[in-house]
Amino acid sequence: MKIIVLLGAPGSGKGTIASRLARCDAVRHVSSGDLLRERVRHADTPASREAAEAMRKGALVDDHVVDELMLEHLQACAPGETLILDGYPRNERQAATLEEEAAIVGADITAAVWLEVPEPVLISRLAGRRVCSVCAANYHVENMPPRVEGICDRCGGKLYQREDDQPEKVDHRLHVYRDQTRALIDWYASRKLLVRIDSKKDADETAACVARAVLA
């Protein structure tokens, strides 16, 4: 099993790029955010309630909750797969945990791809993002609109704006990223795993650049 970590601020396109890469054979997109939202929807436990409250505020969910979800998922994947991790790890402690767990299951962390985007572009992307309430497909009101306004092309579900994409939450999310997750760039650079990709471009073009860099 191979593991590729996607790094980048909220709005850098991690989910969109990972979804496109997952069209390749034996490549799986693993989103910590999707796993958390699934847990919140289908489980009523202290951990799920804690996660729901953090997500409502645009804050980070505690490490132990995210670690548990991601590591359970990692252990359930097939040995020949390539996993694209979107949203995990988000700090050095989680990165160390991932390294340890990867070694246990015989997986190799082969690259950490940093999707670089200027902050004004990030803010615009987050403000315009819409998500399907049924299948979680991503759209943008200007850059990637659905064929019918407010309706998912894929499944016909209703589109909505995530609470943490609302303007008052975006500044806080970017501050949290700068304060915590940005340190991972140095972490992976020190291990000679960092790959820098300009992610201002069209999503298909960016995904092609990432695929050439880490999947070829």
Lowest mean pLDDT among 87-91, 114-118, 154-158: 87-91
pLDDT at 55 over 80: no
Q: Provide φ and ψ at 100, rounded to 5°.
A: -65, -45
- Annotation marks residue 162 as catalytic: yes
- Annotation marks residue 14 as catalytic: yes
CA-based angle 167:171:173, to the nearest 5? 105
Structure confidence at residue 202 (pLDDT): 85
State both tokens at 89: 């790890």
CA-based angle 169:174:176, to the nearest 5? 95
Residue 114 lies in a domain: yes
Structure confidence at residue 52 (pLDDT): 74
Residue 148 lies in a domain: no
Bigger pLDDT: 108 vs 33: 108
The terminus-to-terminus CA distance of the chain in angstroms comes to: 16
pTM of the prediction? 0.79
- Mean pLDDT over the full length of the chain: 87
Paired sense of beta strands 159-160 and 129-132, if any: antiparallel
- Annotation marks residue 212 as catalytic: no
Which band of pLDDT confidence, cut at 50, 70 and 90, is reported for residue 4?
very high
Q: How many domains does the chain have?
A: 1
Among the options 90, 125, 130, 169, which is catalytic? Answer: 90
Average pLDDT on 123-147 reads: 91
Residue 141 lies in a domain: no
Structure confidence at residue 180 (pLDDT): 78
Residue 47 lies in a domain: yes
Residue 133 lies in a domain: no
Which band of pLDDT confidence, cut at 50, 70 and 90, is reported for residue 43?
low
Residue 126 lies in a domain: no
Q: DSSP 3-state assignment of 153? A: coil
Residue 147 lies in a domain: no
Range of the domain at 199: 2-118+172-214
CATH number of the domain to which 85 belongs: 3.40.50.300
Q: Which helix (H) or strand (E) holds 39?
A: helix 32-42
Among the options 162, 182, 196, 201, which is catalytic? Answer: 162
Average pLDDT on 187-211 reads: 93
Whole-number Å distance between alpha carbons of 198 and 173: 21
Among the options 14, 39, 125, 130, which is catalytic? Answer: 14
- Annotation marks residue 129 as catalytic: yes
Q: What is the DSSP string of 97-129?
A: HHHHHHHHHT-EEEEEEEEE--HHHHHHHHHHE
- Annotation marks residue 178 as catalytic: no
